[in-house]
Chain A
Amino acid sequence: MGGFVFKRILMMIPILLGVSIIVFTILSFTPGDPARLILGQSASQETVDKLHHEMGLDDPFAVRYARYMGDALHGDFGTSYRTNRPVFDEIFIRFPITLKLALTSVILVVAAGIPLGILSAVKQYSILDMFCTVSAMLMASIPGFWLGLMMILLFSLKLGWLPSSGAGSLAHYIMPTIALCLPIAAEVLRMTRSTMLETIRQDYIRTARSKGAAERTVIWRHGLKNALLPVVTVIGSEFGGLLGGTILIESVFALPGLGSLVVNSIRTKDIPQVMAATMFIAFIFCMVLLLVDVVYGFIDPRVKARYEKAR
C-alpha cells in the first residue's frame, strides 16, 4: 500500500508540470503587459519598458517558463502583481474557507445521499423511492446560486435566522453548504440507488439471504460494500472540484474563497497568482483522487491486492 501511494505521488509530478505548462502558455500568449499592471496606467512608457526588461519579460517563452519553474522548485512562487505579497499568503488565507465549505458539503452529501439512495433501492417503487427519485431530479436541476439567493430571502430577510453574507461564524456556512451540496447529494443519491439495485440482484446477495443472514447484514455488509465503489469515485471528484473553489456561491454569500481569488486574478492578469492558485488546486485535486484510491483499497480487497501486486 505504501509503495502504491508513493508511486502515485511520483505520478503527480508530470501532472503538475503539465498543468503549469498549459496555464503558463495560455497566460503568456494572452495580450497585455504585466509591467503596466504593476506600475499603473499613469506610468510612462519608458518606466514600463524598464520594468518589463527587469522582470525578464522580453526573454523567450521557454526561458521565462524555465525560470519560473526553477524558482517554484526552490519554493519561490513569486509575489502577486496586484498586492505585492507572496502569492501563497492569499491562497492560505482563502483556502480554509473553501476547505470548510467543501468538507461540510461532502459530509452532508454522504449523510444524506447514501442512506436515501440505499433506502430507495431496497424499497424500489415504494412511495419513498418515488419521492427520493423525484426530489433528486429536482435538486439536481436547481442552480445552486439561485437556491442560495432564495434561501437568503427566506432565512435572512423574512425569518432573520441566518446571516446573509460573510464568513465569521459557523452559522455563515449553513446556507452556502446547503446550496453547494444539494445537487451533489442528488447525484450521489441516484448513483447509490442504481448501483445498489444492480448489486442486490447479484447471486452472492441471494446466497447471503439463503444462508440466513439478517436483512440488515445483507444490505449493509454484502450489498453496500460492493455498490459503493462508483459512489466513492463521484464523491471524490466532486470534493476535489469543491476544493477548487465555487465562484458563484462564493459571490452570492460574499465568502472569500479560492474561486473568487482565481477569477479576480485572471481578470487583472495577475500571472503569478493565477499560476500558484491553479497549481495549488491541481495539487489538492490530485491528493483527493489519491485519497479516493486509498479508500477503494479499504472497501474492496481485490483493489487492495492489485495495489500490493503492482508493487
Chain B
Amino acid sequence: MLKKTISLSLTILLILSALTGCGKTSSGETDSGKTGKAGGVRNDLTVVLPSDFTTLDPQKLPSISEINFCTNIFDTLVSLDEETHEIKPLLADSWTMAEDGLSYTFHLKKGVKFHNGDELKASDVVYSAKRFMDQEWMKPFSFMLADAEALDDYTVKLDLKYPYGPFLSEMCYLMVADESYMNQQGGAAAQNPMGTGAYKFVKWDVGQQIELEANPDYFQGAPSIQKLTFKIISDSNTAYVALETGEADLSFNCSALDFEQAKNNPKFGTDAVTGTSCYFVNYNTERLNKTVRQALCYAVDKEAMNTLVNEGAGVVTNLPLTPGQEGYTTDIETYGFDPEKAKRLLKEAGAEGMTLDFFYGESTMNSKMGQALQSMYNDVGVTLKLKPVENGTWWQMFGEGDYDISRGGYPMEVANTDAPYFDMYHKDGTFNVSRVNDPKLNKMLEDARVETDGDKRNEMYVEINKYIADQAFSLPLYFSNSTMVYSAGLKEVKALPDQRYQYRSYSW
C-alpha cells in the first residue's frame, strides 16, 4: 500500500515537473528571464512598440518615435532636462556662444567610447553634423546650421546661418555616429545602429522585435536593465493582454479605456502627463476669410470633440503650449463653444449655408474627428463633406492646398517654441496646413527666432500668440495624453511629455 502511494506520488511529481518545464519554454524568453534570476530580481525589460521602424540611421529618422528610440543607442552633444527645461551637458562638457550668435564651440568629453571601442573624436561630431544638415528628414532640426568644423580632437565649432535663440534645444536631435563605422557599413548602418549610448543594438527581427543590451562601459554609468526588448504589437487589445500576461512590461500606447482599467489593477503601475502632440483644425486661409474662420471656431465644442475622438483622454487647450513654455499666455481670444455667435458671424460674412470639404488622412481618430466636425458645423448651418485619403497620400498632398479645412497634429517641442510655430505659421513652414501667408506674422516669426535673449523672446511669442488667436488661422483642440502602463515593481519610471524615455534610469 505504502509502496503504491509513494510510486503514485512520484509519478504525479514527475508529470507536474514535466508540465511546468513545458510551460516555461513555451512562453518564451521573457518568462525564463523572470524566473531565472536569483533572488527574483529581474534585469530585463520588454516594451511594446505599436509599429515597426523603417530605418535606424541616426540622421534619417522619419519620426519622433524613431528619434526617441535612438537616443538610447546614440548620444547627443547636449540634452534637455525634462523637469526644468534646461540644457545639460552630455557628450559636450561645456560650450560657448560667439558674441554675434553665429557660432557655437563645443568641448567634448574625453574618453567616451563607441560600442565598437572607437573613441569619440571631434571628427565624428563634424561628420554627424554634416549629415544632419544634408538629410531632408532632419531639416526641421538642422535648418539653422551652416557648417561644422573640428578645431582639435575634442573641440567642435558649429556655424549658424543666423543667430538662433533656441539653438541648443535643437542640438538634442543631433545624434553622434562613428564616422569610420558609418563609412564602412554604408547603407547597412540603417539596420545596425552603433553609437555611444547606454544600450547596444543586438538585433532587429523585422515586424517582430528589436533587442538591445546594456553598454557596461557607458560614460554615465552602466544601466541596471541589461536586456531591452521592443516587441511590435500594433493591436492595442493584444498589447494590453501582453502586459497582463507578463509578455511585455511597459506600454506607452494603451487606449484610454485600457489605461483606466490599468489604474485599478494592482499588477500595474500607471502614470500620465500632458503630451507634446497638439491637434488642430486647420482652415485654408487662402479660401476662408477671418470672420468665417472665427465663426467656425465658435461652432466647435472642444470638450465634446475630446470625448468623441479620444474617449476624453486628451487635454483640451486654447494654445499649442503648456504653462512654463516660451510664449505661454492666457491673454488671448479663446473661442468658447458658442453656436449662436457662430451663426451670427457667418451671417455677417454672408457665408450662411456654405459647403466645405474636410481633407484628412484615413485613420480611426481622424475619421471620428471628421464626423464630429460634420455634426457640429451642421448645427450652425455649414455642410461639411469628408474627403479622406490614405495617410501617406495626405502627407504628400496637403502641400498642394486643395481643401477648405484639414487637420494637423504637431509634436510640439518642450524647449523650443520657434520650430513648431515657424513650421506651422510662416509662409516657408513645412507644416503650414492652414496655408498662412501673412506678412505681419512672417516678420514677427523671423524676428523672434533670431532673438537670443530668452525673456525678450518670450514677450515676442506672447504677441505672436495673441495675433494668431485673433486671426484664427487654426483652432487648437487638445494635447495628446502621454500615458504609460508598466508592470508594478519597475522603478524610476515617469511619464514624459515628449516620450523621450531613457531606459538606463529604470530598474526593478
Contacts and interface: CB of A to CB of B under 8 A. Distances in A.
B279 interface: no
A260 interface: yes
Contact of B393 (A31, A40, A261): A31
Contacts of B238: 152, 164-165, 251-254
Interface stretch (B240-248, B451-459, B479-487): B240-248
A201 interface: no
A230 to B, nearest CB: 36
Nearest to A253: B238
A166 B247 contact: yes
B235 interface: yes
A84 B55 contact: yes
Contacts of B190: 83-84
Given A165-B247, A168-B28, A268-B392, A41 B430 contact: yes
Contacts of A36: 395-396, 399
A254 B395 contact: no
Interface residues of B, number: 48
Main secondary structure of the interface of A (DSSP, over half): loop
Interface residues of A, number: 51
B19 to A, nearest CB: 10
Contact of B208 (A157, A171, A256): A256
Contacts of B389: 31-32
Interface stretch (B7-15, B132-140, B294-302, B329-337): B132-140
A156 B247 CA distance: 10
B136 A42 contact: yes
Contacts of A161: 23, 26
Contacts of B231: 165-166, 254
A297 interface: no
Given A84-B55, A164-B245, A164-B247, A42 B140 contact: yes
A157 B244 contact: yes
A254 B234 contact: yes
Interface string A63-94: 00000000000000000001111000010011
B396 A254 contact: no
Contacts of A162: 26-27
A266 interface: yes
Contacts of B27: 160, 162-163, 171
A254 B235 contact: yes
B489 to A, nearest CB: 18
Given A43-B139, A153-B241, 5 more contacts: A83-B54, A166-B233, A168-B28, A267-B362, A269-B396
Interface of A: 30-34, 36-37, 39-43, 45, 47, 82-85, 90, 93-94, 149, 152-153, 156-157, 160-169, 171-172, 251-254, 256, 260-261, 264, 266-270
6 A-B pairs with least C-beta separation: A256-B207, A32-B396, A268-B392, A32-B393, A43-B136, A171-B26
26 contacts: A31-B397, A36-B395, A40-B139, A41-B430, A43-B430, A84-B55, A84-B187, A93-B206, A149-B237, A163-B27, A164-B247, A165-B241, A166-B28, A166-B209, A168-B208, A171-B26, A171-B27, A172-B28, A253-B238, A254-B234, A254-B239, A256-B205, A260-B234, A267-B362, A267-B390, A267-B392
